[in-house]
Each structure stands twice: as structure tokens, then as C-alpha cells.
């Protein structure tokens, strides 16, 4: 099954319809066509040219202090961009509270990013090439029993869509790839943590997700032939998905905002639908 795109009106899902959390945990992308996130006249400049130093893939704020990284511009402009990202973080938080109330108080908001560059303009290594179908995994930041929920918004001022591909369901993909992955070594996981190469001990889940991410991106036959669908996210649209579960690739577009959030597997409506539990079922045993 290919991940469905579920359009959600401002009013939310109709009474009696399957809940949004149910769709999301099942691998859907929720797409909100018309939520408001207005820019002030001063902020319009952030979609007229990239306010980025060009060294990193994008500009972001992190942590309690919301310190801005990777930005360019005058101090006044950089502070305005920082405030825009703080406002987007609050917008994402409010979206979760309003449309995914099951998760209220259980979500931890992480990084917020401004992505002003054209997706396929920059020649990246295969591993960083997000045009290839993949599920998200963070090499230096093991996430263990947490899920990655992302809230995206296309802020392109010229009508340019964000072009994505979405792929088949996680379980079908895992059946094809898990048998080919190298085995997990608890010893080398402890070593990576001791050497501070990873911020915490890499669990078997983290190990599998990193190798899945790489194996998927390196398999050009799979990239070309796997079940997949093209998706266009128009300017003004907001979309939400578990990017550790939903196979995706970004094919084009520029100017987007993105919020990353974490949710513990135990705090899902149905933990059995997490990639953690799907991988355990694929292997026929609990993960270490």
C-alpha cells in the first residue's frame, strides 16, 4: 500500500470518520490546505531570497534559547527570522493541540527549520540526497523509543509547489530490506557512545534505521521501481507525517518551514504500529 495523503479541513475530521491520529499512525500524510500563517511586510524578504549562510542545508533554531544557526542578513533581519521560526514552532504546537489532541502534553518539540534552497539544486552525496525515497534516521542522535513527527509548510511566494514522492508502507519495505542489513553489535554501540560519536547509546532500532536509510538510498532499482506516488504541496499548504514511518523523497521546490517533534512509542494511540514494533515483528523477536 502507498502512503495516502489525507486532506483535512479547518474543522478537522467529520464525526464518525476515522480519527486523524489513526490515519497518521497508519502511515498517512495529513494535509491541511488552508491554515493561516501570515507573514508581516518585513518578513516577505525571507521568501524573496535565501537568508542563509549556505554552509548548512538549512537555517534552524534549537533548544530553549532558540539560538539561530546558519542564517545570513543584518542583525535585525536575523532576529526577525528567528522570531518567524519561533512563531512557526508555536503554530505547529497549536496544530497538534487542535487536530491531534490525543498527543497533547506528550509531544516534545525539537528543531525548527527554514529551507530556502531549491531541493535538487545542490549536489549532495547519496546519503544526504533526500530526493531518494527514505525514512528519516539521525546518525549522531539515537532516538530509541521515540517517534519522529514532522510538520511542514510550503511558503513559496510564486506558486511553486513542494514536490514529494511517497512510497510503500513500512512493513512491506522492511520485509524486502531487513534480511540484507548487517547485524547489531551492542559492543560497538557502547564504543560509539563512549567516544561521543553518538550522543547516546545506539539501540538495535537506531542501528536498523540507519542501515535501512542507507540501503534504501543506495538501491537505484528500488528507487525506480518500488511502489510510489508523486505529491504536490501547494504554497499555503501544511502537512504532517511520521517521517520515520512514511517513505518519502523531496523532488523539488524552495522555501519551506519545518518543525520536528518527538513522541514516545508508549504514548502513541497504538504502539504496535510504530516502526520499532514493525521491525521486531519482521525479525520475529524483540529488539535489543
Rule CB under 6 A: which residues touch ligand SIN? 115, 130, 136, 162, 243, 248, 250, 256
Name which of 146 and 248 has its Cβ closer to ligand SIN. Answer: 248
Name which of 136 and 204 has its Cβ closer to Fe ion. Answer: 136
Q: Which of residues 56-75 bind Fe ion (CB under 5 A)?
A: none
**Beta carbon of residue 269, minimum distance to Fe ion (angstroms, whole number):** 23
C-alpha span between 174 and 148 (Å, rounded)? 18
> Is residue 136 at the binding interface for Fe ion, with CB under 5 A as the rule?
yes
Name which of 96 and 245 has its Cβ closer to Fe ion. Answer: 245
206 interface partner picked from Fe ion, ligand SIN, none, CB below 5 to 8 A per type: none
**Beta carbon of residue 97, minimum distance to Fe ion (angstroms, whole number):** 25
Q: Which residues touch 204 (CB under 8 Å, ≥6 apart)?
A: 184, 287, 288
> Is residue 258 at the binding interface for Fe ion, with CB under 5 A as the rule?
no
**Beta carbon of residue 174, minimum distance to ligand SIN (angstroms, whole number):** 18
Q: How many CA atoms lie within 13 A of 145 on its CB side?
A: 10
**Beta carbon of residue 17, minimum distance to ligand SIN (angstroms, whole number):** 27
Which of 111, 175, 101 lies closest to 148, judged by CA? 111
CA angle 257, 1, 209 (to 5 degrees): 60
Stretch that binds Fe ion, among 8-16, 129-137, 141-149, 190-198 (CB under 5 A): 129-137
162 interface partner picked from Fe ion, ligand SIN, none, CB below 5 to 8 A per type: ligand SIN
Name which of 82 and 211 has its Cβ closer to Fe ion. Answer: 211
**Beta carbon of residue 133, minimum distance to ligand SIN (angstroms, whole number):** 9
Structural contact between residues 146 and 264, judged by C-beta atoms closer than 8 angstroms:
yes
Name which of 206 and 244 has its Cβ closer to ligand SIN. Answer: 244
> Is residue 244 at the binding interface for Fe ion, with CB under 5 A as the rule?
no
Name which of 95 and 256 has its Cβ closer to ligand SIN. Answer: 256
**Beta carbon of residue 60, minimum distance to ligand SIN (angstroms, whole number):** 13
153 interface partner picked from Fe ion, ligand SIN, none, CB below 5 to 8 A per type: none
Name which of 3 and 189 has its Cβ closer to Fe ion. Answer: 3
250 interface partner picked from ligand SIN, Fe ion, none, CB below 5 to 8 A per type: ligand SIN
Residues engaged in binding Fe ion (CB under 5 A)? 136
Amino acid at each position: 500500500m502507498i502512503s495516502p495523503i489525507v486532506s483535512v479541513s479547518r474543522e478537522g475530521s467529520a464525526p464518525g470518520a476515522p480519527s486523524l491520529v489513526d490515519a497518521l499512525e497508519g502511515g498517512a500524510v495529513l494535509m491541511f490546505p488552508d491554515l493561516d500563517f501570515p507573514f508581516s511586510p518585513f518578513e516577505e524578504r525571507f521568501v524573496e531570497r535565501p537568508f542563509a549562510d549556505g554552509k548548512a542545508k538549512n537555517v534552524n533554531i534549537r533548544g530553549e534559547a532558540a539560538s539561530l544557526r546558519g542564517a545570513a542578513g543584518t542583525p535585525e533581519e536575523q532576529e526577525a527570522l528567528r522570531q518567524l521560526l519561533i512563531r512557526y514552532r508555536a503554530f505547529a504546537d497549536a496544530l497538534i493541540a487542535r487536530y491531534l489532541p490525543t498527543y497533547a502534553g506528550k509531544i516534545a518539540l525539537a528543531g525548527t527549520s527554514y529551507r530556502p534552497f531549491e531541493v535538487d539544486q545542490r549536489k549532495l552525496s547519496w546519503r544526504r540526497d533526500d530526493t531518494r525515497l527514505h525514512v528519516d534516521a539521525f546518525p549522531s542522535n539515537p532516538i530509541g523509543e521515540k517517534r519522529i513527527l514532522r510538520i511542514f509548510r510550503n511558503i513559496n511566494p510564486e506558486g511553486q509547489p513542494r514536490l514529494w514522492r511517497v512510497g510503500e508502507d513500512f512493513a512491506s519495505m522492511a520485509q524486502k530490506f531487513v534480511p540484507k542489513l548487517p547485524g547489531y553489535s551492542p559492543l560497538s554501540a557502547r564504543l560509539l557512545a563512549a567516544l561521543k560519536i553518538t550522543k547516546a547509546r545506539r539501540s538495535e532500532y537506531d542501528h536498523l534505521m540507519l542501515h535501512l536509510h542507507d540501503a534504501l538510498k543506495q538501491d537505484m532499482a528500488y528507487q525506480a521501481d518500488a511502489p510510489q506516488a508523486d505529491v504536490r504541496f501547494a504554497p499555503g499548504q501544511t502537512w504532517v507525517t511520521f517521517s520515520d514511518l512514511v517513505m518519502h523523497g523531496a523532488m523539488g521546490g524552495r522555501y519551506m518551514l519545518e518543525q520536528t517533534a518527538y513522541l514516545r512509542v508508549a504514548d502513541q494511540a497504538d504502539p504496535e504500529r510504530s516502526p520499532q514494533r514493525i521491525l521486531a515483528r519482521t525479525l520475529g523477536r524483540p529488539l535489543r
